Amino acid sequence: MPTVSFWKLTFQLIVMALASAYAHDARADTDLLSTRQQGSFVRYSGCFATINWQSSPTSFNLTVAFSRRPDNGIIPCSAACSTSRHFILWDQQCFCAPSITINTTTGYIPQLSEWEATEGDCWRLCRDEPGVTCGGSARAAFYEHTDPPTVQNPGIEPVQGFHWWGCFADFTPDRVLRRFAGASNDMTPTKCAGMCGAEARWVGVEYGRECFCGATIDNSYKTFGRRCGRVCEGDGRWFCGGEGHLTVYERDGARGDGDPVGGYGYLGW
């Protein structure tokens, strides 16, 4: 008959196994969060026209990873193009782009003969990834695989409980987000979200150090992502808006499928 010591050891082993499994799941969730929300290893590069290359991608040194995939998004496309520096989301299609160069000053890609479009043109959201754009009409969303961010290679910070929504032009006195939460020399999007509190649906950072909050987005539009190219004063790894432009985040789960966006209601896929 097993002794008390035997049962005690067996119980300890079961507890250790469960703890190990939980720790693995927690790490997986963290990795997923970073990928879904434009964090450590994926950076949004902009919304670009598709007029010249989409009908013959191979002639522009692009590879079609998959097409007609309803769950297209950063996660499956990034994995399918893991060896390419850039990957492209266009509706249900994923393209791998191993060697393109985007001129971040002019918003032009010489290899594809395409110009950057405004963020409003990339209105189509990926079905299973909140806040992530899968392009638009004759527009595609470009993403880049990066090394862990450095001052020379900034990206969009993954903010717990929020997803990145885009770069918005900010006008005074009618601001994009009406409540000014404060300015700080150690500002980051995460710090701004904390300053805004639990009641804020939207948070945004500007000029590298200013924090704004709001229940709605007012009097603005999405614009070129490079306009929000100023790094955060609190952490040079991340973008914190620009001059007259806000890097905006929306709280996870804040909008239901039927909520109106830009005056229009959601009808379905």
Residue 5 included in any domain? no
List, in order, residues 6 or more apart from 37 with CB less than 8 Å away: 131, 156, 158, 159, 162, 163, 164
Q: What amino acid is encoded at 239 in this protein?
A: F
Question: How do residues 64-105 score in pLDDT, each as one tens digit?
Answer: 999 999 999 988 999 899 889 999 999 999 999 998 999 878
Distances (CA, A) of 182 to 16, 112, 116: 46, 42, 32
Last residue of a domain, one of 103, 120, 145: 145
Q: Are residues 138 and 59 in the same domain?
A: yes
In whole angstroms, give the CA distance from residue 227 to residue 243.
Answer: 8
139/181 same-domain check: no
Identify which has the larger pLDDT, 120 or 136.
136
* pLDDT tens readout for residues 143-181: 988 777 666 777 888 898 998 888 898 876 778 898 999
Q: Which residues contact 239 (CB under 8 A, 6 or more apart)?
A: 154, 155, 156, 157, 228, 229, 230, 231, 232, 247
> Rounded to an integer, what distance in angstroms lies between the CA atom of residue 251 and that of residue 217?
13
Contacts of 116 (CB under 8 A, 6+ apart): 46, 47, 48, 102, 107, 108, 224, 225, 226
pLDDT tens-digit series, residues 184-219? 999 999 999 999 999 899 999 999 999 999 998 877
Same domain membership, residue 46 and residue 140:
yes
Residue 125 shares a structural domain with residue 186: no
- For residue 255, count CB atoms less than 10 angstroms from its CB and return exposed for 0-12, middle for 13-18, buried for 19 or more: middle
Residue 186 lies in a domain: yes
Q: Mean pLDDT across the stretch 235-256?
A: 87
Q: Would you place residue 15 in the very low, low, confident or very high pLDDT band (cuts 50, 70, 90)?
A: very low
Arithmetic mean of pLDDT, 105-129:
89
Starting at the earlier edge strand, list the strands of the sheet with 93-97. Answer: 63-66, 93-97, 86-90, 139-145, 42-49, 114-117, 108-109
Residue 230 lies in a domain: yes
Q: Is-contact 16 24, C-beta < 8 A?
A: no
Q: In this structure, are 168 and 128 located in the same domain?
A: no
* 25, HSE (Cβ side, Cα atoms, 13 Å): 6
Are residues 140 and 212 both part of a single domain? no
Give domain status of residue 7, yes or no.
no
Q: Residue by residue, what is the 3-state secondary structure of 217-256?
A: CCCCCECCHHHHCCECCCCCCEECCECCEEEEEEECCCCC
172 plus 95 within the same structural domain: no
Question: How far apart are alpha carbons 52 and 49 in whole angstroms?
Answer: 8
Alpha helix segments (H runs only) across the chain? 4-36, 74-80, 189-196
3-state DSSP call for residue 32?
helix
Q: Is residue 2 part of a domain?
A: no
Count Cβ atoms below 10 Å from residue 2 Cβ, excluding itself: 8
On whether both 129 and 58 belong to a single domain, the answer is: yes
Task: Calculate the average pLDDT of the chain.
Answer: 79
Question: Which structural domain, as residue segments, surrounds residue 187?
Answer: 162-251
Q: What tokens appear for 136 in the block?
A: 């638009």
* Structural contact between residues 133 and 126, judged by C-beta atoms closer than 8 angstroms: yes
The per-residue pLDDT for 149 is: 66
Q: Among 48, 106, 104, 37, which Cα is nearest to 74's?
A: 37
Residue 23 placed within a domain:
no
**Overall domain count for the chain:** 2
Domain assignment of residue 118, yes or no: yes
Q: Is the pTM of this model over 0.85?
A: no
Do residues 139 and 211 both lie within one domain?
no
Domain's final residue, options 145, 177, 201: 145
Classify residue 29: in a domain, yes or no.
Answer: no
Token pair, residue 13, equals 């082993």
Q: In terms of DSSP bridges, do strands 162-169 and 202-206 run parallel, antiparallel, or are they unpaired? A: unpaired
